[in-house]
Amino acid sequence: MSRDSTLGIDHGTQAVRFCILPERTFFEIDRKKLLKVLVLDEIKKRFPLEKIRLVGLTYSMGDGINKITDIKKVKNRGVLQEKTGRYVGGGTKVFDEVAASGLRAVVIPGLHRGIKTLDPRFRALYSHCASAEKVSLGYRCYLEVNKKVGAENLIISDISSNTVTIGIRDGKFFGAIDACLGAIGILHGPLDLETIRRVDAGKTSANEAFYSSGAVKIYSNPKAILNPKNSSAKLALESLILSAKMEIFSFLSEIEPEAVVITGSAGVHRNVFTALKKSLEKTAPVFKINSYAAAIGSAEIARDILLGKREFLGIEYL
């Protein structure tokens, strides 16, 4: 085991994922299960805590901090509002346990209006572009793609419960289209006019509407969409692919990509990835990266901080 092992933690929608480098130890825990266990005990089952030199941690929206920041200096866990989105509490428990553990840790911000490397137009248009794990995801994709092709300009689309697409230009974060703005995911999506009217009529909250505006609004069984057995499920899948394709192609007006990366549990599924690759490979090489990308990226950020790096795709380490 290396003396300089780092732990990356990805606060995902369905589960919290962990990665330890360079040992490449991976595991995930469902967010609800996390309420019943001690996170540090789960880590210790797999790796000695005293060997971890630095933790890279993502939490929720990450919109309360503008730089990668020592956890001791972070207020309110690095977010402006605790309950934006669906609140379970597992991720909060992970954050608090790490903060109280004595482990050295840094908190990674999301992509939001306070991130100065983003194009000013994105900062003017949107208060929030992507949650904190997408910064780690972006760093992981950038490093991985550049092992194979030189790519200072790339487009990354993370398609799972929701869809978020990120643009990197000249080796820096350029912008991102958040789940509530553009393409649908399996569960979540932007609010169309009919849904806005339902919110105005008091039939649902905007937050709950977002959580049911993905492909499930077309076919209600989310587990059946990726492998459709009937015309309604097939329509939901084809609609998901169309919306993701539209979002990815929208970045081509500002970025000439040297690579496109598809990731996320739905994105890497053969029925989604194959369709997207067929459309996109005329533009640039298309890569597929698995669902641990954000956890790996968090550990890689921590690793590179230990090596002296102070900027990550335009975001500074404080």
Task: Report domain extents, the chain.
Answer: 5-111+293-316, 149-284
Q: Which residues contact 210 (CB under 8 A, 6 or more apart)?
A: 179, 180, 188, 189, 190, 191
| Region label for 94, one of left (φ > 0), alpha (ψ between -120 and 50) or beta (otherwise) | alpha
Positive or negative, the CA dihedral 206, 133, 286, 25 is: negative
Q: Which fold has domain 5-111+293-316?
A: Nucleotidyltransferase; domain 5 (3.30.420)
User: What pairs with residue 57 in β-bridges?
Assistant: 9, 107
- Same fold for the domain at 5-111+293-316 and the one at 149-284? yes
Q: What one-character DSSP code corresponds to residue 82?
A: T
Domain 149-284: give its CATH architecture. Answer: 2-Layer Sandwich (3.30)
Half-sphere exposure (Cβ direction) of 200: Cα atoms closer than 13 Å:
7
Helix, strand, coil % over all residues of the chain, rounded to 5:
35, 25, 40
Question: How far is the CA of 198 from the CAs of 25, 191, 274, 289, in angstroms?
Answer: 46, 10, 36, 37
Angle of helix 293-306 versus helix 132-145 axis, rounded to 10: 80
Instruction: Tokens 């739905």: give the residue.
Output: 266
What's residue 256's pLDDT?
Answer: 98
pLDDT in tens, the chain (318 residues): 456 899 999 987 778 999 999 999 999 998 888 888 999 999 999 999 999 999 999 999 999 999 999 999 999 999 997 554 555 578 889 999 999 999 999 999 999 999 999 999 999 999 999 999 999 999 999 999 999 999 999 999 999 999 999 999 999 999 999 999 999 999 999 999 999 999 999 999 999 999 999 999 999 999 999 999 999 999 999 999 999 999 999 999 999 999 999 999 999 999 999 999 999 999 999 999 988 999 999 999 999 999 999 999 999 998
56: its two tokens: 């890279």
Distance CA 108, CA 18 (A): 15
